[in-house]
């Protein structure tokens, strides 16, 4: 089940927090709840990606991207993800979800998201996202112009470029 209560809490808190730049990192404080657990009892591997949705939503709200998407009648889409699970997040433990846009190309924004607890990384993900319209994927350049940031370019880290190239080799 989708965490609608957490979504509502994220939406409310994002409106109360100060705006942020697209270069900033969003950090959400979370806890592993009963509904997040699997049989072991720890954060379920699929739930990590669902909770990461909330990190991207919070960043979109605080940077103004959400407002622009809604005004233009665009949508947000995930077009790929790769996640590495490093350590188990046990039942009822607190953790932080970090979200940052690390790259962009002609079509996609690339988010690095990771969970941490007491300075230790528990999972790390690269998520390729896009903005869509009725005509398909909106070019990043057009999105940035709508945000009033036509010259924004975070660069392309080699590890993101390697992931993109590896994805091209997939059947």
Which residue segment(s) compose the domain that 151 sits in?
Answer: 4-169
CB 131 within 8 A of CB 138: yes
| Structure-token match 């990190």, residue found | 55
pLDDT digits (tens, 9 = 90+) for 18-73: 999 999 999 999 999 999 999 999 999 999 999 999 999 999 999 999 999 999 99
Instruction: Say if pTM beats, i.e. exceeds, 0.85.
Output: yes
CB 39 within 8 A of CB 83: no
Residue length of the chain: 171
Q: What is the CATH number of the domain that holds 71?
A: 3.10.129.10
pLDDT digits (tens, 9 = 90+) for 29-41: 999 999 999 999 9
Per the structure, the count of domains in the chain is 1
């Amino acid at each position: 089940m989708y965490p609608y209560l957490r979504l509502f809490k994220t939406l409310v808190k994002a409106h109360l927090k100060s705006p942020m730049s697209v270069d900033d990192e969003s950090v959400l404080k979370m806890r592993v709840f009963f509904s997040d657990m699997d049989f072991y009892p720890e954060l379920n591997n699929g739930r990590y990606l669902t909770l990461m949705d909330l990190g991207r939503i919070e960043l979109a709200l605080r940077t103004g991207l959400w407002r622009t998407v809604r005004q233009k009648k665009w949508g947000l889409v995930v077009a790929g993800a790769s996640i590495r699970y490093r350590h188990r997040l046990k039942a009822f433990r607190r953790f932080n979800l970090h979200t940052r846009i690390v790259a962009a190309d002609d079509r996609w924004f690339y988010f690095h998201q990771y969970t941490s607890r007491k300075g230790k990384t528990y999972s790390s993900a690269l998520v390729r996202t896009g903005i869509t319209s009725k005509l398909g994927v909106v070019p990043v350049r057009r999105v940035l112009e709508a945000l009033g940031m036509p010259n924004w370019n975070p660069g392309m880290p080699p590890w993101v470029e390697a992931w993109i190239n590896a994805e091209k080799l997939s059947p």
